[in-house]
């Protein structure tokens, strides 16, 4: 069995690559990072280390790498023969890989009529659907019907904290022990890929929203408030009682929405929250606040972890999302100079003010009730120092 995986980064090697290896796939990693790809081809294996007191190691074999900038035709050939395609490149990179993926899939249509599932493993709602939309922009009109009948793009939710790596070996990746990979079974074409660790569900919405609006909302609160208060890692931020209390209060807000929308039992959801907070406090992981805060323009997007639940809180519960608004206020002030999105955000804030920048980045209407709530929290944040 052949897998093609785009993105040989933290989650690609530390999670997707690991489960594909366990399921006996040969994995071709496609990336633009030449150092990583060269090393994959040189070593033909790498190590995943579980970040807990035992530091158990697992060797991932049966791999090769292709640099898609240098060898796009090799990527096309790999797609023609693939039994599954996965991605973990980041939401903003999906439109970039779409062209080469479309080329590979179009070539495959001529040679191989086997159904194929393409699963985007990104932190976003509707990641695979977005990839499909972007891929279709590059597909000939005459191929579109055949394309739709053979290729499936099931959405997915993936959960495993994989921080930036500081190991001596370039490919080694330390990961938290916990993981979850949920795939929308209703969109699968052909036989469901048999990958131990993948949970197939008929309706992904509750799973992706629960994950994004709990793990990633909580993480974002710790990162933006942590950065605001001068902490370097998520653990340092969470060890601060003000930050951990704000994370918990924010997750109460998102929890109330999720419980109302999806009927999760309150007790079960509270246990889910507790487990996530314990994961943020894992002493065996050092996760920079700047990794978790990365890409504030994306994270302030209208369907992402802060704005979407804040709007649902207003719409469904008819209550002000005070704590989500505080996190949004902190995100708007995120000015890490090495993050291009943070720099761009601060330029917008300089020109348009906080309210103007928020309106633009989060695509809010001028009269959105969220804007004054966030403005109040910007003032409140100043008092936290
Ligand atoms: N790290 C985590 O804890 C975690 C957990 C769950 C989900 N995710 C999601 O997984 C995705 C990847 O995150 P990550 O933490 O692994 O990031 P990462 O930066 O470690 O990995 C991304 C990889 O994509 C590669 N890439 C960039 N442009 C490319 C292109 N045009 N073609 C092919 N490869 C390209 C990069 O070189 C890099 O190796 C994101 O959507 C993230 O939200 C991450
Ligand atoms: O990957 P991002 O930038 O969307 O979010 C940063 C972290 O919250 C994220 O990578 C988590 O570590 C991960 O989603 C845990 O499953």
Q: Which among 15, 288, 292 is the best mutation to test ligand 2's pocket, defined by most ligand atoms within 8 Å of the CB? A: 292
Domain borders along the chain are: 2-203, 206-382
pLDDT (0 to 100) of residue 310: 98
Q: Whose C-alpha lies nearest to ligand 2, atom 13? A: 161
For ligand 2, the distance from its centroid to the CA atom of residue 79, given in whole angstroms, is 27
**Euclidean distance between the first and the last CA atom of the chain, given in angstroms as a whole number:** 55
The residues lining ligand 2, judged by C-beta closer than 6 Å to any ligand atom, are 123, 159-161, 215-216, 219, 292, 294-295
For ligand 2, the distance from its centroid to the CA atom of residue 174, given in whole angstroms, is 15
Q: Whose C-alpha lies nearest to ligand 2, atom 11? A: 161
Q: Whose C-alpha lies nearest to ligand 2, atom 16? A: 159
pLDDT (0 to 100) of residue 385: 79
Average pLDDT over residues 280-292: 98
192-217: pLDDT as tens digits: 999 999 999 999 999 999 999 999 99
Tell whether 359 is in a known binding site. Answer: no
Q: What is the interface pTM, i.e. ipTM, of the complex? A: 0.99
Q: Which among 9, 158, 279, 295 is the best mutation to test ligand 1's pocket, defined by most ligand atoms within 8 Å of the CB? A: 9
Q: Which atom of ligand 1 is nearest to the CA of 30?
A: 33
Band of pLDDT at residue 383, cut at 50, 70 and 90: confident
Q: Do domains 2-203 and 206-382 have the same CATH topology?
A: no
Average pLDDT over residues 229-241: 98
Q: From the options 3.30.1370.10, 3.40.228.10, 3.20.20.140, 1.10.1040.10, give the CATH code of 206-382.
A: 1.10.1040.10
Tell whether 338 is in a known binding site. Answer: no
Average pLDDT over residues 243-258: 98
pLDDT (0 to 100) of residue 24: 98
Classify domain 2-203 at the CATH topology level.
Answer: Rossmann fold (3.40.50)
pLDDT (0 to 100) of residue 384: 83
Q: Whose C-alpha lies nearest to ligand 2, atom 4? A: 123
**pLDDT of 357 over the 90 cut:** yes
For ligand 1, the distance from its centroid to the CA atom of residue 241, given in whole angstroms, is 31
148-206: pLDDT as tens digits: 999 999 999 999 999 999 999 999 999 999 999 999 999 999 999 999 999 999 999 99
Band of pLDDT at residue 322, cut at 50, 70 and 90: very high
User: What percentage of the chain carries pLDDT values higher than 90?
Assistant: 98
Q: Which atom of ligand 1 is nearest to the CA of 91?
A: 41
**pLDDT of 330 over the 90 cut:** yes
Q: Report which bound ligand comes closest to the CA of 159.
A: 2
For ligand 2, the distance from its centroid to the CA atom of residue 346, given in whole angstroms, is 22
Tell whether 6 is in a known binding site. Answer: yes
pLDDT (0 to 100) of residue 253: 98
For ligand 1, the distance from its centroid to the CA atom of residue 112, given in whole angstroms, is 29
Q: Report which bound ligand comes closest to the CA of 162.
A: 1
Q: Whose C-alpha lies nearest to ligand 1, atom 6? A: 159
pLDDT (0 to 100) of residue 278: 98
For ligand 1, the distance from its centroid to the CA atom of residue 32, given in whole angstroms, is 11
For ligand 1, the distance from its centroid to the CA atom of residue 12, given in whole angstroms, is 7
What does pLDDT average to over the chain? 97
Tell whether 9 is in a known binding site. Answer: yes
The residues lining ligand 1, judged by C-beta closer than 6 Å to any ligand atom, are 6-12, 30-33, 36, 68, 88-91, 93, 96-97, 121-123, 158, 160-162
Average pLDDT over residues 29-40: 98
């Amino acid at each position: 069995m052949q897998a093609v995986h785009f993105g040989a980064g933290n989650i690609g090697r530390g999670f997707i690559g690991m489960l594909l290896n366990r399921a006996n796939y040969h994995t071709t990693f496609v990336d633009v990072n030449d150092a990583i790809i060269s090393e994959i081809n040189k070593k033909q294996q790498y190590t995943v280390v579980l970040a807990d007191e035992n530091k158990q190691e697992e060797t991932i074999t049966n791999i090769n790498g292709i640099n898609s900038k240098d060898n796009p035709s090799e990527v096309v050939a790999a797609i023609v023969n693939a039994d599954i395609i996965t991605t973990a490149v980041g939401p903003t990179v999906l439109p970039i890989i779409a062209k080469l993926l479309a080329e590979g899939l179009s070539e495959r249509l001529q040679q191989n009529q086997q159904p194929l599932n393409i699963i985007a493993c990104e932190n976003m709602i509707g990641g695979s659907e977005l990839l499909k939309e972007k891929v279709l922009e590059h597909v000939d009109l005459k191929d579109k019907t055949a394309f739709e009948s053979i290729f499936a793009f099931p959405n997915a939710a993936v959960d495993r904290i994989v921080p930036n790596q500081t190991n001596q070996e370039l490919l080694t990746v330390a990961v938290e022990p916990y993981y979850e990979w949920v795939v929308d079974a209703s969109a699968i074409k052909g036989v469901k890929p048999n990958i131990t660790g993948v949970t197939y569900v008929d309706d992904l919405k509750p799973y992706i929203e629960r994950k994004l609006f709990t793990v990633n909302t909580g993480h974002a609160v710790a990162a933006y408030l942590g950065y605001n208060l001068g902490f370097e890692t998520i653990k340092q931020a969470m060890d601060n009682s003000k930050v951990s209390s704000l994370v918990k209060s924010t997750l109460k807000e998102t929890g109330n929405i999720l419980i109302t929308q999806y009927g999760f039992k309150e007790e079960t959801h509270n246990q889910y929250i507790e487990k996530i907070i314990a994961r943020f406090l894992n002493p065996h992981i050092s996760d920079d606040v700047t990794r978790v805060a990365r890409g504030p323009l994306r994270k302030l997007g209208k369907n992402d972890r802060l704005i979407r639940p804040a709007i649902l809180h207003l719409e469904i519960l008819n209550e002000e999302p005070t704590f989500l608004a505080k996190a949004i206020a902190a995100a708007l002030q995120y000015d890490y100079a090495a993050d291009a999105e943070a720099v761009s955000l601060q330029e917008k804030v300089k020109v348009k003010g906080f309210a103007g920048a928020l309106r633009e980045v989060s695509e809010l209407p001028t009269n959105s009730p969220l804007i004054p709530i966030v403005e109040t929290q910007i003032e409140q944040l100043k008092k936290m120092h």
